[in-house]
Amino acid sequence: MTGQDGLSSSFVETVAGFTAGIVSTLCLHPLDLVKTRLQVDRSSTSSRVGGSFRVVRNIFQNEGGVSAFYRGLTPNLVGNSSSWALYFLCYGNIKNTMRSFRSSSEGALTSSDYFIASGAAGLLTSLLTNPIWVIKTRMLSSGSKAPGAYASFITGARQIYRSEGIPGFYRGLVPALFGVSHGALQFMAYEQLKAHRTRMSPTIVSSTKDDPSASPPTQRRELGNIDFFVLSSLSKVFAGCVTYPYQVLRSRLQTYDAHLLYRGVRDATMQIWAKEGLAGFYKGLGPNLFRVLPSTWVTFLVYENTRAYLPDLMSRG
């Protein structure tokens, strides 16, 4: 599908998603590190109030100050940028394919269509990017001076291949696939909220202002950055409250010694429940909420604005 400016919608979606992933990761990587440390901590004390502050203090004092909070930035950048690029590429193409099969003139999609499109895009993205997340989780879960810690992204990839083979890159894939429901729920809610907001108090946009012979005025409401802030927040909180435990399971199964501690997803679930209770499945939720909302704002603002302005910038060039 190609627009009047000659740019395909796939290209625009991919660049917008890639840009959004880079910007959000650069801004919020330290919070991702704190969240990961809490998720992989098997003690019951990390579930208590103030656990995040204890992790922050320990990292700052014992691992090298501010720079320690950016350990694992490379796999996080590679993973987030490629994930968002792949996700939006697949998501946009699947939606376009669904619209082409619609019999109605408008080709309007339903909530279930958005859920299926985002779920399918999430499955494909998870399968392709899981190796990056394994390296990222391991680097974020330990300081650079810890025994056996990966010195870099490339070093981690080599060590996993040598010691665990190809299967090592797909540890935690099962809960990651379950986690696809997070993105599916988020995008279903986001698209529906965006459509609902667009229908509210429509603004008349006249196409006859500069050309009297043009078609009659149309009614639509242009969404602004405040709209994207609010809608992305509501959709993210909704999806996060429902699906957070899968993130804890994925992180536990992707740690260095996961193959020695857990026999699989079921065993990890039972061990967390037996030793840490329900709170164990929500470790890191505090910094995660503190991280995901700004991350979601940055991601969707950059995505929506890049998608809106990229065709114009390219046509000027």
CA distances from 277 to 42, 47, 52, 58 (A): 11, 10, 19, 25
Beta-ladder partners of 8: 2
Q: Determine the average pLDDT of the residues in 70-94.
A: 88
- Hey, what CATH class is 9-316 in? mainly alpha
- Residue 55 is predicted with a pLDDT of 87
Q: Is the pLDDT assigned to residue 47 strictly greater than 80?
A: no
Residues 6+ apart with CB under 8 A from 92: 9, 10, 13
Q: What are the DSSP calls for 69-80, one per residue?
A: GGTTHHHHHHHH
Q: CB-hemisphere CA count at 13 Å for 83?
A: 24
- Residue 252 is predicted with a pLDDT of 93
pLDDT digits (tens, 9 = 90+) for 61-77: 989 888 899 999 999 98
Residues 6+ apart with CB under 8 A from 48: none
Give the whole-angstrom CA distance, residue 155 versus residue 124.
26
Residue labelled with tokens 């109605």: 104
